Structure 1
Amino acid sequence: MATVTTQSTAFWRYLDQTEPDTDWSREPEARIGRRYVAFHAQSREIDRPALESYLARADDGWIHPAARRMLDCWRAELELLGVHDPGLAEDRPLAASAKAMTAALAERGLLIDHRRFGGPVHLDGTRWGMPLRQLIGSDGLPNYLLPILRQLIPMTRPGRTFLLLYDEGLTADYLLLERVLTEFGASVARLPLSRVPIDGTARSSRYGGWSGTTLADLSSASGTAGPDAYRLGMRLYFIAVLQRTSAESFRMPLLRRCVGRAARLLGREPVDESPDASAERLATALSRCRIRPGYVDPYRLTTSLLGPRALPLLPSIRKVYA
């Protein structure tokens, strides 16, 4: 869903125009990131035929070598964090074509299509008191919502719930997305996440300012903690301390303290109790952290590990954070 967008393909074309002979297989991610910042700092006209070609290739599963290099770097950091790779580099075709999806939306009266007049296509949420949202520009290029709809709407099944995680700055789009998915019979829950401010400013990576705070920077910082403490400490800091919508800026000393706290938690003797008692205690703890859509809120669970009445790091919970 992320590759079949103008945001990705326009950057790829920029790289091919400016550095056609660069070997991206060993390029550091920070240097690719700086090129991304430089790309967005320049103003340029969109070459529609060229971008249509890139979008078509991306729809067929092609990923630019620079983007594949970034994915390799991120997969290595996810592995270090103990985060399951969701298949970042797998070729997974979208479930429906753009043509089929716009037809399905139009059939339900959710589309205002001005393409025959040379205009844009809008997603129509006015029945819910929401403004029109452009889905395809007058240049024929889609925005990021179309591939999301192409993937999720065909996946709608009875009893299946979509949990939408997104940047809280995109709340208006995801409120509309929730309504559209519900119109097609989906059950939807939303979880907005805030960006972590750096030096008091929360902004997109395209504007820079992230040097020294990438996952690669954090994992390579000097220290004595082992991998397990790093994994748990990162979760304690970014989940329990910063919380989901914290306005507090990133602080390396506080992250170090969380890693130290994690090392102490992991160093404690495991709780010695029967499997039935352990399971009962775990069920009780998780019930307090469950929220309305039915899943355990990771913020409540992680916070429960801190404070004077902290939940013991039970073996089952330890596995969650490993």
Structure 2
Amino acid sequence: MWRQDHPVVGELVGELVVAPVTITPTKPLTPTHVKGLLWTDVLLKASARVGGVRLVWNNRMATVTTQATAFWHHLELTEPDTDWSRESDARIGERYVRFHAERRAPDRRAVRERLRRADEDGWIHPAGRRMLDVWRAQLDHLGVGDLGLAADRPLATGARAMLDTLAERRLLVDHRRFGGPVHLDGPRWGLPLRQLVDGDGHPNYLLPILRELIPLIRPDRLFLLVHDDGIAADYLLLDRVLTEFGARTLRLPLSRVPVDGASRSSRYGGWQGATLGDLAATSGTADRAAYRLGMRLYFAGTLHRRSAQPFRMHLLRRCVGRAARLLDRAPAGRTDPAPPHLTATLARLRAQQGYVDPYRLTAALLGRRSGPPAPELRGIYT
């Protein structure tokens, strides 16, 4: 598990709350998803060595959305007898791409009912549950800490209560009494209006995030919002809203990873052959430890925070090969889990910006001039 409690380091007071962007279980994990997950994984494991860290991940933040429930209702209508336990993540994802390409108008009443079930009872369509199972296996193989994909718990605040709370702070442009939508009042900060709930009462993905994060706000907590830069405008607005409730916040926008020269949302496809399942199945001689370290060398080291580089399989293979060589040269046995030089490096990086930056850590400890990774780094990188 990621949650650990340690003495406070430097000037940072209290607990680091890491909230990565939600991923709806409707498609395979693409290189952009993998980059975000590995940055989050290294950041959490490294930051936990020198301070209190909490990961915020709740499946309902992704499933109580029109994006997920409209697709699942479509599957209920078109494939009522499919055995989803036998389907691959890629085949489910291909259906998701076709669903968006066809641009069918959803049955608003049916979607509203499924949103209610997802919110109140934790309902997930069998295709979504199959996707979560696949993700769990792939992320376990990759060595990513437990996200809680198998857990189910209600969001911390009800939708109506959260809307009322936002309204009390005058953060909404609210047309519910006219049968219209609800918007976050971005213009008060020089930002655009952002729809939070549509005229049918269906939430945007930001509402479940607010329902989970706002109740966590405490004076001694620092919130780190991890997201891809394609949704930076939404997360800038989310940052402003959390600040209105007294939260201390930081944002960590990560550039998307283009595939075949295109950087697009996964709903439009183009990820075939480059999903996490594809990468794990690529033939080679490296063992699991080299695969885990090599993936982190590539996605957290080669692809830095604002990198515009496209996904390149030959560079990933090179990183896995380098990882294998580094591990072959690593000293045997185990040492103290936090030797002075590592603790000092982690503390310095965290004190400077509130969290340990995976790219800077990788460059500092696993750069070209560095020797083999010491055993104490295994818990962070493999």
TM (norm. structure 1) is: 0.95
* 1:106-127 deviation line (CA, Å, top 9, x unaligned): 1011111111112111111333
Instruction: State the identity as a percent.
Output: 67
Aligned residue in 1 for 2:323: 262
**Equivalent position to 2:143, from 42, 65, 82:** 82
Structure 1 residue matching 2:249: 3-state secondary structure: strand
The 1:10/1:272 distance shift into structure 2, 3 A limit, reads closer
1:310-321 matched pairs, under 5 angstroms: 310=370, 312-321=372-381
8 Å Cα contact 1:200/1:249 also seen in 2: yes
Aligned residue in 2 for 1:247: 308
Instruction: Look up the equivalent residue of 1:201 and give its one-letter code.
Output: A
Question: Once the 2 structures are TM-superposed, how far is the Cα of residue 273 of structure 1 from its aligned partner?
Answer: 11
Structure 2 residue matching 1:10: 3-state secondary structure: helix
The 1:269/1:23 distance shift into structure 2, 3 A limit, reads closer
Within 1, Cα distance between the matches of 2:186 and 2:276?
38
Verify: 1:56 aligned to 2:108, yes or no.
no
1:137-156 matched pairs, under 5 angstroms: 137-156=198-217
Aligned residue in 1 for 2:91: 31
Aligned residue in 1 for 2:169: 108
8 Å Cα contact 2:327/2:372 also seen in 1: no
Aligned residue in 1 for 2:361: 301
**Equivalent position to 1:98, from 159, 177, 180:** 159
The 1:111/1:202 distance shift into structure 2, 3 A limit, reads same
Within 2, Cα distance between the matches of 1:207 and 1:112?
31
TM (norm. structure 2) is: 0.80
Within 1, Cα distance between the matches of 2:218 and 2:348?
29
The 1:228/1:271 distance shift into structure 2, 3 A limit, reads closer
Alignment size in residue pairs: 321
Instruction: Look up the equivalent residue of 1:93 and give its one-letter code.
Output: P
Bigger Rg over Cα: 1
Structure 2 residue matching 1:2: 3-state secondary structure: helix
Aligned residue in 2 for 1:72: 133
Structure 1 residue matching 2:62: 3-state secondary structure: coil
Aligned residue in 2 for 1:43: 103
8 Å Cα contact 1:271/1:312 also seen in 2: no
Within 1, Cα distance between the matches of 2:177 and 2:330?
70
* 1:175-221 deviation line (CA, Å, top 9, x unaligned): 11111111111111111112211111111111111111111111111
Aligned residue in 2 for 1:205: 266
8 Å Cα contact 1:120/1:134 also seen in 2: yes
Aligned residue in 2 for 1:186: 247
Within 2, Cα distance between the matches of 1:36 and 1:306?
39
Aligned residue in 2 for 1:172: 233
Taking CA–CA contacts closer than 8 Å with sequence separation of 6 or more, which of the two structures ends up with the larger relative contact order? 2
Aligned residue in 2 for 1:225: 286
Within 2, Cα distance between the matches of 1:109 and 1:165?
26
Q: Which runs of 5+ in 2 are unaligned?
A: 1-60
Within 1, Cα distance between the matches of 2:223 and 2:347?
21
Moved more, 129-138 or 259-268: 129-138
8 Å Cα contact 1:6/1:142 also seen in 2: yes
Question: Once the 2 structures are TM-superposed, how far is the Cα of residue 315 of structure 1 from its aligned partner?
Answer: 2.1
8 Å Cα contact 2:329/2:372 also seen in 1: no
Aligned Cα root-mean-square deviation (Å): 1.9
Instruction: Look up the equivalent residue of 2:173 and give its one-letter code.
Output: I
8 Å Cα contact 2:182/2:197 also seen in 1: yes
